[in-house]
Chains A and B, each alone.
Chain A
């Protein structure tokens, strides 16, 4: 037990003794009577109250006059005017020198003048000279302050009170006091209550004789020093799980740098497409160009772009290897899908396949609350004989259903590498409107046939960003709080379990 706790226990017992004699008391009255700090008295009453029904308390509000800091000083040392008076020697003193000797000298000087305690000779040869006018004074202000200090406010007249208030020596404060009575379990001595059950008590058996302090079950527990996974990656796990449940295999996506060839050309995206401009895509200075392309395939890609083929009229322009060789930060993971489909086409016999990926993509965009230069793309694709647009819609419905979205609509759209293409809209119950949640389509023959996939094989695909559903799920409005160095670590520590289906 600390010294402080001991003092508190002593005070508590003293209060109980007083209560047993008087049956009741008011803490404020008692503090005046005992000349004891009211706050400490209240503290002791509170600790008695926590013991159960030993005492009963009733809160009372009252007002009380208290000394200000200046008033306290006066109660101790005397008023400014008295101090001025005391500082004047018999022979008198130069006025400036006098004012310098006493703090608040100017106030004291004018008060002492108006009280007629001192006089000034303005014509003195060394400047104005102050001398005492009366032989003795009575420092009434100091007396008043001392009365306030000793809670004898009833001995002060209203006029004096107002005078002191005007001089900001006293102020009226609200006081909360307690009217204390005996409780049903009243006793005059309280044994010290234990807070913790300890191993020592169990070893010695002393726990049997101890009483234990009641717990405040509403208080917060101690936060554990725990580690946590990042919220965005928790959602990634959920999406990965959805794909795995649907029988999709994950593609290796460990190539942030991609050649324009796989990122754009293989996807039948023409070389003058705006997405290939410097203000949309990060280009690589070193290593500037990719090398080693599957040349047979590259020739077919070149042909289908520049003069067409496979039933297409192509884009009719001068396709350049130089442009296709440019290395970039991949703008989507669909380049990875193109590589996978190309590999699939190289196998002796085509096998229907389902793939997905969730990984970073990069755009050289203006950054704002919803756009970063890096974000994660979720993509799913199915390659099989005779897949239809209806199949694509079916897969998308299944996918979003697992993610808790049941109301979907499809809007015709344009993508360079899919036809038909559909934007996916879901009904947002909060916003009461349809919002876009993803993009989808059937890969164009101009993309698939040069790879060597059988003519009757279709590939259907859909994609969405990982950040957007996560922001909606966690109620985050600024993407910088989710991804990058400005993330709030406390939020990672605090963030709750994520279930996409709820």
Chain B
């Protein structure tokens, strides 16, 4: 979940409600689905990061750190948040964005198609920045880059001082050797061939260089004089940098995915056209595509319309509210009622409410407008036979039996290292060591899915050296095996494993446990039904391992572990183990 830092005073001024206190604010945020993470200040943040007292340069103005739901990109700045809360608290109509006719053209060269084909633009005219709103403008771009743009991969934006540039603009792609410009806040020109290397150590920008690394051409934004605006998605040029004095802002967005570019651009203009004169006007831009000769005017600021049935809303929430009450709830959530009658209404959804995909999103807005606390809570009851998977019940019988025999139940991870289920158990043959493998684990502890429960038990014992001997532990759990007959190609297999470790081998103990379990399951030892045959599994000491057969199928094994196995798991004592499959024993497929 993204979080934003909001200046308390700024927010309260924008909300027209300076008398609120922190806990009232927290309550309002909670009911809107926002969370007050922290009440802090620039100084406190600095001191927390550095662990030392900050100098006087840091402000003591109260800041709120607020957690924003991942789909509300329109709330990622103080401005956006205050617009939304203004509607929520005072029923203020949401700002209507006014697109003004295009004056400036932008040409897309087809050379960008294989790299970053989508391009949108917008212009904010007659804008007045203060230090705070300027910082907020930069911060919102950061938040959008991280979230909707997925770290600039799916979309990225550049904002420029229009008055330093000469339209029309060109979005093209060039070979690195043909690129040279002064990037933002750099002392001099950097060649295209060096730019990735230059930023590969930059703490903020190094994570974006890979987005261009495999391309022979880099995307480039130019004006009519071939002045570079930006090299998306990495860096803007210093030339067109916006400052506190900037009056006209040119915004360009390049993207892989058009929907995300639209959402990001709308969030940006909706939040900051507030500072334009007249407020909420956005100048559109004509986007020309070279090959198709199509012209598109962006941004797309037309509100969407949705017809909503009141009865549907009542039924989905479980309320009995009047049409009027429901309308009020929708207005609180920035939806405008265009027309309504007793059964349904047509609402207008502002272009920056990208989170509304479906009428069910409007249902949620009504519920929030109403307040979750005000919804009557009712259970419904209907009769249905209750079922528990047979294996779960059977596994519990086995767990209880083994625990009553004096064994402690442990719970080990399903993920383990390759060696633990392979070399450590002296398994060498390929068919013995095949396992479901993880491709992106950060640690060697989680390379594969366990194919045996024994390593987990042995590891647990090795971490419990203080526990008095003999140690008796068991686990009933799933191992995962490769199985081409299922849709994922894998299958869970439920097993019981138990270990007895101490000064003596404990072979008879483990054998006795197996006998007791079979007796509990009412299985008689007889050839063909349940019998024990000399085994050949490599983890056992020579001649001390046996296979367990049930209905002539091998279902498990037991024996004294080979001293080399004990050594691999760091155990200084003798150990006997049993591992057995539960499905055949319980006749559960």
Mark B73-90 against chain A: 1 for CB-CB distance below 8 A, else 0: 000000000000000000
A250-298 at interface with B (beta carbon < 8 Å): 250-252, 254-259, 272, 274, 278, 282-293
Is the CB–CB distance between A250 and B380 below 8 Å? no
Within 8 A of A (CB), among B311-361: 315-319, 355, 357-361
CB-defined contacts of A374 to chain B, threshold 8 Å: 413-415
A244, A313, A409, A482 — which one has the most chain B CB atoms within 10 A of its CB?
Answer: A313
- Nearest residue in B to A234 (C-beta to C-beta)? B409
Q: Give Cα A362 to B438, complex, Å.
A: 12
Whether A252 and B389, one on each chain, are in contact in the complex, defined by CB atoms closer than 8 angstroms, is: yes
Instruction: Say whether A110 faces chain B, with CB atoms less than 8 Å apart.
Output: no
Complexed CA–CA distance, A278 and B494 (Å): 28
- Interchain CB contact under 8 A, B358 and A445: yes
Say yes or no: is B464 at the interface (Cβ < 8 Å to chain A): yes
| Proximity bits, A388-432, B CB within 8 Å = 1, else 0 | 111101110110000000000111111000011110000000000
Which residues of chain B are near A398, meaning CB under 8 Å?
379
**What is the size, in residues, of chain B's interface with A at 8 Å between Cβ atoms?**
99
Further contacts, 10 of them, CB under 8 A, given A388-B318, A414-B71: A227-B406, A255-B491, A256-B478, A257-B480, A286-B482, A311-B358, A384-B382, A386-B315, A409-B373, A489-B410
Evaluate contact between B413 and A373: CB separation under 8 angstroms: yes
B-facing mask of A233-259, CB < 8 A → 1, else 0? 100010010001001111110111111
Does B247 sit within 8 A of A, measured CB to CB?
A: no
User: Separation in Å of the B485 CB from the closest CB of chain A?
Assistant: 10
Query: What's the least CB distance linking A307 to chain B, in Å?
Result: 11
A314 to B478, CA, bound (A): 38
Q: Which residues of A contact B405 (CB under 8 A)?
A: 227
For chain B, residues 420 to 470, give those with C-beta under 8 angstroms from any C-beta of chain A: 436-442, 446, 449, 456, 459-460, 462-464, 466-467
A337 at the interface (CB under 8 A from B): no
Q: Which of A255, A308, A391, A484 contacts B411 (CB 8 A)?
A: A484
B357, B442, B486: the one contacting A364 at CB < 8 Å is: B442
When the two chains form the complex, which single residue of A230, A247, A248 contacts B410, counting CB atoms closer than 8 Å?
A230
- Complex: how many Å from CA A437 to CA B485? 39
CB within 8 Å of A: which of B362-393?
Answer: 363-364, 367-368, 372-373, 375-389, 391-392
A387 to B377, CA, bound (A): 12
A488 and B464 contact, CB distance less than 8 A: yes
The reply on B24 being an interface residue by CB < 8 A is: no
- Provide 9 A-B residue pairs closer than 8 Å at the C-beta atoms, listed in order of the A residue: A230-B410, A278-B440, A353-B384, A373-B413, A393-B372, A395-B379, A398-B379, A420-B368, A485-B456
What residues on A are CB-neighbors of B440 within 8 Å?
278, 282-283, 364
Is A442 positioned at the interface, with any CB of B under 8 Å from its CB?
A: yes
* Cβ-based interface call for B142 (8 A): no
Q: Whole-angstrom distance between the alpha carbons of A293 and B486 in the complex?
A: 11
Interface contact B411-A351, CB-CB below 8 Å? no
A252-B358 contact given A230-B409, A290-B488, CB 8 Å threshold: no
**B116 sits at the interface (CB 8 A):** no
Query: Measured between alpha carbons, how far is A352 from B391 in the docked complex, in Å?
Result: 24
Residues of B within 8 A of A310 (CB): 358
The yes or no answer to B32 lying at the interface (CB within 8 A) is: yes
Cα A244 to Cα B414 with chains together (Å): 27
Interface residue? B402 (CB, 8 A): yes
Find A390's partner among B304, B317, B414 (CB 8 Å cutoff).
B317
Is the pair A486, B463 in contact by a Cβ cutoff of 8 Å?
Answer: yes
What residues of chain B lie closer than 8 Å to A422, measured between beta carbons? 372
- Please tell me if the beta carbons of A360 and B414 are within 8 angstroms of each other in the complex: yes
A257 vs B406: C-alpha distance when bound (angstroms): 33
CA distance A419 to B360 in the complex (A): 6
Asked if B360 and A445 make an inter-chain contact with CB atoms under 8 angstroms apart, the answer reads: yes
Number of A-B contacts (CB under 8 A): 274
Q: Given A389-B317, A391-B318, A487-B460, decide whether A228 and B409 contact each other with a Cβ distance below 8 A.
A: yes
Asked if B164 is at the interface of the complex by the 8 Å CB criterion, the answer is no
- The chain B residue with its CB closest to the CB of A330 is B488
The answer to whether A12 has its CB under 8 Å from any CB of chain B is: no
Which chain A residues numbered 358 to 376 have a C-beta less than 8 Å away from chain B? 360, 362, 364, 372-374
With A317-B259, A414-B69: A227-B402 Cβ-Cβ less than 8 Å = yes
Q: Is the CB of B492 within 8 A of A442?
A: no
Nearest chain A residue, comparing its CB with the CB of B383 = A247
Q: Note all chain B residues with C-beta closer than 8 A to A230.
A: 409-411
- Chain B residues near A255 (CB-CB < 8 A): 486, 488, 490-492
Contacts A290-B489, A293-B487, A484-B412; is A391 near B459 (CB within 8 Å)? no
Q: Return chain B residues, CB-CB under 8 Å to A390.
A: 317-319, 375-378
CB nearest neighbor in B for A359: B478
Q: Is A316 an interface residue (CB 8 A)?
A: yes
| A444 is an interface residue with CB less than 8 A from chain B | yes
Q: Which 6 A-B pairs have the closest CB atoms?
A: A388-B318, A412-B33, A390-B318, A287-B489, A414-B69, A420-B364
Contacts of A382 in B (CB 8 A): 380
Contact for A485 among B361, B403, B462, B491, CB less than 8 A: B462
Q: Are A252 and B391 in contact (CB under 8 A)?
A: yes
Q: Which of B396, B441, B489 contacts A282 (CB 8 A)?
A: B441
What 0/1 readout, one digit per residue, does chain B (25-68) give for beta carbons within 8 Å of chain A? 00000111101000000000000000000000000000000000
